[in-house]
């Protein structure tokens, strides 16, 4: 087995006994990148020299007995999390040459545990998309089948993990942007409870929805990453002072005493037959492992897409107003007046999807329309939160598909943005309600496309999701499969 094929726990064990060094592990991942990156497009920036320096430092720290929990483990970072000295583009030309002078809190946390940062992962521009096709610097490819999307907006993060270019990645989830690409690429991804993980240093898309989380090869690695990046951060005004458990302690065999809720609204017209069958098989596995299966209802699910695509663009139009060509980022130098410079800078710097959402959000917030659109959407959002609270009175974890279909071909829906928006219908509600969500591999379709199982739980119950995911992993015993690289 090559070093890059190991999991985090396996690699740490090998380094602990001296069978492997952080430098060798990092070089193995860099060689893997050299071998396949031209086909994968998982990275916007690879910091080769910086990664080797960090790996060498990790080896020195291990010799001194000062090894952290991620000492020498190569990671990728979604390109909207600030990384000191490494450019952070958000997948946009408007920030093509922006190099932050500081690290995001979550980046500092993994660095403090000895992680090696390989580079910045490809993403939809400003995280606006479900396929990573809106990135200004290339489109990541699904490693399971050539010509298919990897999902988004954390598509590059998912590809870098699934194609074994790194061991885990930090992504962000505003409406499913961790869970959906994790599902389409056959890996594990978690969106924590809103406020559980610091957003300081995360470039804002929709501030009331954005959440940072890990993408990993298995549930055990996900539990470790969650233990490291969770916790209160005074630099983030939305961070919650809540004790952080050892998430690895939830990885126990068996689900006796746990109630699994199956929402009737998530199994309706539009769900692919193979997806539905894989999810139902996974539910049967959870029952075999001791869980009680109950039906629950989330009656306002049908409004989630409409609510999300009013709230998220509204917040985006406010957050992205800062990119005006004055403070930082791209500036059009051909304008004669300040107003013309604003117009030309934003017209040339932003891609079509970002401009579409800015226009939608500006309209929804405009005088005379605020009450009819943004305010009403916020009121329905409260009803969606109430749906989850009521459902969790009768179950501990909700199980469903992540997406209605497996991955589709690159370019297939470029002229139909509404179809792409509707693909998020099963993931948006967790962001609107602020509850934790997780995707765990559930199986593969007849043509070799992965299908993920979505787990959702009450606020700050990430441990229950990890427990269910761990048992699903053990029950399904999918094992490794050849990737189409």
- As annotated, the active-site residues are 78, 153, 177
**Displacement of CA 42 from its chain's centroid (Å):** 14
Could you give the dihedral angle defined by the CA atoms of residues 142, 176, 191 and 28, in that order, rounded to the nearest 10 degrees?
10
| First vs last C-alpha separation in the chain | 18
Cα distance between residue 333 and residue 325, in whole Å: 9
Phi-psi region of 195 (alpha: psi -120 to 50; beta: other; left: phi over 0): left
Q: Are 110 and 151 in contact (CB under 8 A)?
A: no
The strand order across the sheet containing 397-401 reads 43-46, 116-121, 74-78, 168-172, 212-216, 188-191, 437-444, 450-456, 397-401, 259-263, 292-296
Q: Are 191 and 469 in contact (CB under 8 A)?
A: no
The answer, yes or no, to whether the previous bond of 153 is cis (omega within 30 of 0) is yes
**Displacement of CA 340 from its chain's centroid (Å):** 37
Kindly report the backbone phi and psi dihedral angles of residue 437, in degrees, each rounded to the nearest multiple of 5, phi listed first: -140, 155
Kindly report the backbone phi and psi dihedral angles of residue 129, in degrees, each rounded to the nearest multiple of 5, phi listed first: 160, 170
Report which of 152, 178, 143, 162 is spatially closest to residue 448, judged by C-alpha positions: 143
Report which of 292, 299, 198 is spatially closest to residue 239, judged by C-alpha positions: 198
Cα distance between residue 287 and residue 33, in whole Å: 40
Report which of 380, 381, 395 is spatially closest to residue 457, judged by C-alpha positions: 395
Kindly report the backbone phi and psi dihedral angles of residue 434, in degrees, each rounded to the nearest multiple of 5, phi listed first: 80, 10
Cα distance between residue 120 and residue 99, in whole Å: 12
């Amino acid at each position: 087995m090559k070093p890059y094929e190991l999991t985090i726990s396996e690699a740490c064990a090998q380094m602990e006994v001296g069978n492997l060094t952080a430098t060798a592990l990092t070089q193995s991942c860099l060689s893997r990148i050299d071998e396949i990156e031209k086909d994968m497009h998982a990275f916007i920036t690879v910091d080769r020299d910086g990664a080797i320096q960090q790996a060498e430092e990790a080896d020195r720290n291990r010799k001194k007995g000062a090894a952290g929990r991620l000492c020498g483990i190569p990671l990728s970072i979604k390109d909207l999390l600030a990384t000191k000295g490494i450019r952070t583009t958000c997948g946009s030309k408007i920030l093509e040459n922006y190099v932050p002078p500081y690290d995001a809190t979550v980046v500092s946390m993994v660095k403090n545990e000895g992680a090696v940062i390989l580079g910045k992962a490809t993403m939809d521009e400003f995280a606006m998309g479900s396929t990573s096709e809106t990135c200004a610097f290339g489109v990541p490819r699904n490693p399971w089948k050539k010509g298919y999307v990897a999902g988004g907006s954390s598509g590059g993060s998912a590809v870098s993990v699934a194609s074994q270019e790194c061991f885990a990645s930090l992504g962000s989830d505003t409406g499913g942007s961790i869970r959906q690409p994790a599902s389409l690429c056959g890996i594990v991804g978690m969106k924590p409870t809103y406020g559980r993980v610091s957003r300081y240093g995360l470039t804002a898309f929709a501030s009331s929805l954005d959440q940072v989380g890990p993408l990993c090869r298995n549930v055990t690695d996900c539990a470790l990453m969650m233990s490291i990046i969770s916790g209160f951060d005074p630099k983030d005004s939305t961070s919650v002072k809540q004790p952080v458990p050892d998430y690895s302690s939830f990885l126990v065999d068996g689900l006796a005493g746990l109630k699994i809720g199956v929402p009737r609204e998530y199994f309706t017209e539009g769900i692919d037959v193979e997806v539905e069958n894989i999810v139902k098989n996974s539910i049967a596995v959870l029952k075999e492992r001791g869980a009680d299966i109950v039906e629950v209802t989330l009656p306002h699910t049908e409004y989630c897409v409409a609510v999300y695509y009013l709230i998220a663009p509204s917040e985006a139009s406010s957050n992205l107003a800062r990119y005006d060509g004055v403070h930082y980022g791209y500036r059009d130098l051909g304008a004669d007046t300040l107003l013309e410079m604003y117009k030309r800078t934003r017209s040339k710097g932003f891609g079509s999807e970002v401009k579409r959402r800015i226009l939608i959000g500006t309209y929804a917030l405009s005088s005379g329309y605020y009450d009819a659109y943004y305010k009403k959407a916020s009121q329905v959002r409260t009803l969606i939160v109430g749906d989850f609270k009521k459902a969790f009175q009768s179950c501990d974890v909700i199980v469903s598909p992540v997406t209605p279909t497996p991955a589709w071909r690159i370019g297939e829906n470029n002229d139909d943005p509404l179809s792409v928006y509707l693909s998020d219908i099963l993931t948006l509600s967790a962001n609107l309600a602020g509850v934790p969500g997780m995707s765990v591999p559930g199986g593969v379709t007849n043509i070799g496309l992965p299908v993920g199982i979505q787990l959702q739980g009450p606020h700050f119950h990430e441990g229950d999701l990890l427990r269910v995911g761990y048992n699903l992993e053990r029950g399904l015993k999918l094992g490794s499969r050849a990737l189409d690289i």
